[in-house]
Amino acid sequence: MSSADSPDLESQRDDAESVDEDASARSVDDAVLEVSNLHKRFGGIVAVDDTSFSVERGSITGLIGPNGAGKSTTFNCITGVYEPEDGSVTFDGTDITGWEPHQVANQGLVRTFQIAREFPEMTVLENMMLAPKDQLGEHLWRSVLPGARGGVVEQERELRDQAWETLEFFEIDHLAEEYAMNLSGGQRKLLDLARALQTDPEMLMLDEPMAGVNPTLEEKILDRIHALREDGYTFLIVEHDMDLIMEHCEHVIVMHQGGVLDEGTPEVIQSNEQVIEAYLGGEV
Amino acid sequence: MSTETVADSDGEDNAPAPMVRPSWFADIGRIAAVVAVTYVFFMGLGLLAGLNVNFIMSFLQRITFYGAVFAMGALALNLHWGYTGMFNIGVVGFMGVGVYAMSFVTASPDASPAGLGLPIPVGILVGFLAACLAGLVIALPALRVRADYFAIITLGFSEIIRLLAVSGSLRTLPGGYGTGGGSGISAPRTDSVVSWLQSKPVTGELTDGIIWAGVNLGGVPDSVMENYVYTGILIGIVILIFLLLTRIAYSPFGRVLKAIREDELAARSLGKRTDRAKVVVFVLGCGLMGLAGMLWLGKRTLVTPNHIRPIWTFYIFVALIVGGAGSNTGSVIGGFVFAAFVYDGPDFLKRVIESFYEVQSPPTIADAFVSSNPLAVIDYLVNSMDEIKYIILGLVLIVLMIKRPQGLLGHRKEIAAAVDLSRPSTPSDGANSTDESATTGSAGGESDE
């Protein structure tokens, strides 16, 4: 699945270098997520202004930009939290523009939040058990009627084993029976990621997964992300830490003032003066 | 069912560890223990004070009856508020819909206002469905708004129901039907279901047998015994509702409900259809509230708008808070404890005090303070126990909120899953991590038994 081999990368680099002003023209061989001409405004503020980009299947793509660049709003428009005013979002060949959050998630595009949104008064295991999709027992009658419950119990057992496995993978299995509210900030981030993984997604969108996480845990999270990418998952990561993005992503999209300023490999981005200016707060 | 699960899981996983998930059987035992202790307490107090045994027995019957009613209300509210986080402060409105619908169905066609004259069980079924329908009608617009506005809508609904019932324009409708306005609808009492049961083949013999036993072995009068049987039926219904809700709680559906309470957007972002779950649960809870209303108010010969005042919503909230929101076991215990100690207990206490010395109450509190009798203030308080009750209610709530906001039982302990969630034993388990999970387990909620 990790088809991001070197020829592709090189051609991307060439593209990015040659057509700097029209970033959306970048062609991706196998795009899993395509965002085109996305618009979203709040009152008089244009939060997302004609944003287009695509994410290659099996890649770790970074989305960076200064505060207020429209990263989180773009995230919210893609995942159905907000409805975009214009533009389209295509995931895995399906037009998902304006879909409800649960529909987007069930399509295989699952997100985490900037501030971890665990279910505080549920145990870590309950958090994990909630996530898998198409659970039989989520229908009231299935859960209650005596004859119908057999299948539910069977499935619950599978999900429990799966939850323990994932917790072990993230090394938070010792916290399994703890209430989520008792976890530290970093552990919550891990739980958020582990829980999102339980839905068996195609692609994960992580909103600042490293914010407020200590370096040791950060290393652990990054380690897991790389391992998962090897397994074929696609990642789109919003992050403030430039060094981190440059080191771990093979493709970087820079947003500024609601639009895409530039995109390309980390090397290209780092040498772009516009990007440096945007981060230093200069006029573009 | 529960024991089956244990057996299956042991067989499949070869897990020697005992089931740690709290079982409904143990929970019912816990509830029974609280009830028994309460009985013994009041019985002892009553006998000590030399009160009439019949009086004590009828008091126990009364707290059991109200305990069952409050338990039903608290269970339904727990489904809404404790589990799903839907702050429904229109509980009595749904009770009203149920009891009015039932009265309409069961009242005699010759009465004024007229009814359909059908048997009580049919009336209860119609009342339940009517309350469900009312829940659906409210749910569709109300669940689209934010939680605080949702609360206001439910409160508004319950007042609309009360005002409709009191309204003159619905008092008499064509055909002699109507709400009867302020004077209400007169319908057969729901406890006459006991005589209805007696008239049927199998249940009749059973009921007759119980009443015969009570009259001949216990020396209890016939009419009192019928009261006991009705209260017994209520206890049976509470147990059925408890089992139903416990089954929901220990299921993936219950897990979705909890997730809605904790963070609805996060649940939706994980692909959960929270809108559908909320409507289903709201409708079911409203139906159960209607049922509680019918079994309680239906015991009066007359149902009037005065019976569906918002104070009853408040009582049910207090009962649930006492027991601990989020726990079905807590709901039942809270309902019973509230009925016994807060709702009915003060009157009993007054009788006990009066039996020790003659209470000579001054006419006003001011007189009590200036009186030469040092006990005058206490006399005054004892004599005004009916009003003092509400002060006690407020104090209980304040103390509880400060000292034990999670309720008597401690809340939200019930792990939402259909199976035991402890780690399946696999050879790869490191000794280190097993130790850790054992220590955190004792701090967590699963080590309940």
Q: Which amino acid is at B273?
A: R
pLDDT one-digit tens code per residue, A25-57: 455 678 899 999 999 999 888 899 889 999 999
Q: Which residues contact B33 (CB under 8 A, 6 or more apart)?
A: none
Cα separation of B329 and A81, whole Å?
37
Q: How many CB pairs under 8 A join A and B?
A: 165
Query: Could you say which of A119, A137, A156 has the minimum Cβ distance to residue B263?
Result: A119
**Measuring CA to CA, which residue among A68, A66, A70 is closest to residue A52?**
A70
For residue A54, the cross-strand partners are: A34
Cα separation of A26 and A54, whole Å?
8
Can you say whether the dihedral through the CA atoms of B147, B152, B155, B160 is positive or negative?
negative
Q: What would be the CATH architecture of the domain defined by B26-418? A: Orthogonal Bundle (1.10)
Give chain A's domains with CATH numbers.
6-118+183-280 (3.40.50.300)
The pLDDT, as a whole number, for residue A27 is 57
Secondary element (H or E) of residue B397: helix B385-403
pLDDT one-digit tens code per residue, A63-79: 988 888 888 899 999 99
Lookup: tokens for B352 = 């006990």
Cα separation of B111 and A185, whole Å?
67
Can you say whether the dihedral through the CA atoms of B54, B57, B63, B69 is positive or negative?
negative
**A106 interfacial to chain B (CB closer than 8 Å):** yes
Three-state DSSP at A111 gives strand
Query: Could you say which of B1, B5, B269 has the minimum Cβ distance to residue A101?
Result: B269
Report the chain A residue with the minimal C-alpha distance to residue B5.
Answer: A153
Q: What are phi and psi of A39, to 5 degrees?
A: -130, 135
Query: What ipTM was assigned to the predicted interfaces of this complex?
Result: 0.84
The pLDDT, as a whole number, for residue B411 is 52
**Residue listed under structure tokens 């054992």:** B438
- How far is the alpha carbon of B29 from chain A, nearest alpha carbon, in Å? 22
Crossing angle of helices B385-403/B376-383, nearest 10°?
A: 90
- Domain boundaries in chain B? 26-418
Lookup: tokens for B119 = 């048997």
Residue B422 with chain A: CB contacts under 8 Å: 177
Order of strands across the sheet that contains A234-238: A109-111, A203-207, A234-238, A60-64, A251-256, A259-264
For residue A89, the cross-strand partners are: A35
Q: Taking a contact as any Cβ pair under 8 Å apart, which residues of chain A between 114 and 153 contact chain B?
A: 117-123, 125-126, 129-131, 133, 135-140, 142-144, 146, 149, 152-153
Crossing angle of helices B328-337/B53-77, nearest 10°?
A: 140
Cα separation of A92 and A99, whole Å?
14
Three-state DSSP at A261 gives strand
Are A131 and A180 spatial neighbours (Cβ–Cβ below 8 Å)?
A: no
Are A245 and A62 spatial neighbours (Cβ–Cβ below 8 Å)?
A: yes
Per the omega criterion (within 30 degrees of 0), is the bond before B113 cis?
yes
The pLDDT, as a whole number, for residue B414 is 73
Cα separation of A25 and A54, whole Å?
10
**Residue listed under structure tokens 């009203």:** B96
Q: What are phi and psi of B301, to 5 degrees?
A: -70, -25
Cα atoms found within 13 Å of the Cα of residue B129, Cβ hemisphere only: 6
| DSSP tag of B342 | I
Report the chain B residue with the minimal C-alpha distance to residue A107.
Answer: B271
Report the chain B residue with the minimal C-alpha distance to residue A113.
Answer: B266
In B218-300, which residue ranges form alpha helices assigned H by DSSP? 222-249, 252-262, 264-269, 274-297
Q: Are strands A45-56 and A86-91 parallel, antiparallel or unpaired?
A: unpaired
User: Are the beta carbons of A119 and B284 separated by less than 8 Å?
Assistant: no
Mean pLDDT of all residues in chain A?
84
Secondary element (H or E) of residue B383: helix B376-383
pTM of the model: 0.84
**Residue listed under structure tokens 């050879």:** B427
The pLDDT, as a whole number, for residue A265 is 87
Q: Can you point out the beta strands (E) in A98-202?
A: 109-111
- Answer yes or no: is pLDDT of A179 > 60: yes
The pLDDT, as a whole number, for residue B47 is 92
Q: Which amino acid is at B316?
A: I
pLDDT tens, residue order, chain B (449 aa): 333 333 333 333 333 333 345 567 788 888 999 999 999 999 999 999 988 888 898 899 999 999 999 999 999 999 999 999 999 999 999 999 999 999 999 998 888 888 898 988 999 999 999 999 999 999 988 888 888 899 999 999 999 999 999 988 888 888 788 888 888 888 888 888 888 888 888 888 888 888 888 888 777 777 788 888 899 999 999 999 999 998 898 899 999 999 999 999 999 999 999 999 999 999 999 999 999 999 998 888 888 898 899 999 999 999 999 888 888 999 999 999 999 998 888 889 888 888 887 777 777 777 777 877 777 878 888 888 888 888 888 888 888 888 887 777 765 567 888 888 887 765 444 434 333 333 333 333 333 33
**Residue listed under structure tokens 């990368």:** A9
**Measuring CA to CA, which residue among A182, A170, A72 is closest to residue A123?**
A182
Site from A115, A124, A156, A166 to mutate, B interface, most B CB atoms within 10 angstroms = A156
Exposed, middle or buried by CB within 10 Å (0-12, 13-18, 19+), for A162? middle
The pLDDT, as a whole number, for residue A69 is 85
For residue A111, the cross-strand partners are: A205
Exposed, middle or buried by CB within 10 Å (0-12, 13-18, 19+), for B426? exposed
Residue A179 with chain B: CB contacts under 8 Å: 444-445
